Chains A and B, each alone.
Chain A
Amino acid sequence: NAGVTQTPKFQVLKTGQSMTLQCAQDMNHEYMSWYRQDPGMGLRLIHYSVGAGITDQGEVPNGYNVSRSTTEDFPLRLLLAAPSQTSVYFCASRLRSENTEAFFGQGTRLTVV
């Protein structure tokens, strides 16, 4: 059972480059979300989706785009990478009910130089 799969695990970008962080889940979860983790800041919500075709902004959406064309996939796009986007990114999924467990990927460590 794969759960939540994120790729790549590590990435170095130059300022101004673009890239897509991939996230896929095989649990048929409606709810998917992206977080960034920075020292002393906990996990901050970037974007989330409550189902295919529906996305919304979280706490820190600027500089990131998302789409949800299928239930399984929820990619995160950085269009013009900036050093401030250096972080560890986590994708999570869960059933839509508010009291269910969220399952997390292993994370992507991104460095923008």
Chain B
Amino acid sequence: GNSVTQMEGPVTLSEEAFLTINCTYTATGYPSLFWYVQYPGEGLQLLLKATKADDKGSNKGFEATYRKETTSFHLEKGSVQVSDSAVYFCALTGQGGKLIFGQGTELSVKP
């Protein structure tokens, strides 16, 4: 079945550091790929998405590229801020439309 694997956290960075959170997936067919973010005490909200191979999703300085050959969708940001502290979830939708999540990666950014 479909599944998503994320790098384990927590990840602690200093402000302005470079961020990478790895995500790989297993899926039949051609899934759509997403990154969701969860700020403390809140529900999840969409950060970015990509719907086909080689697409790049971007939002708020975050980027991720849909790599079919490596089945990956790694999240990157060139310079993180304290306000980026949150839990980040990689997810996919495949056949049947179920949205499947990875285990989440907690990011803490220190001033």
Contacts and interface: CB of A to CB of B under 8 A. Distances in A.
Given A33-B99, A90-B44, A99 B104 contact: no
Interface residues of B, number: 23
At the interface, is chain B mostly helix, strand, loop or mixed?
Answer: strand
Interface in A80-113: 90, 92, 94, 96, 98-99, 101-102, 104-107
B93 A99 contact: yes
Interface string B3-43: 00010000000000000000000000001101010000011
A99 B49 contact: yes
Interface string B89-102: 10001100111111
B58 interface: no
B79 interface: no
Contacts of A92: 44, 99
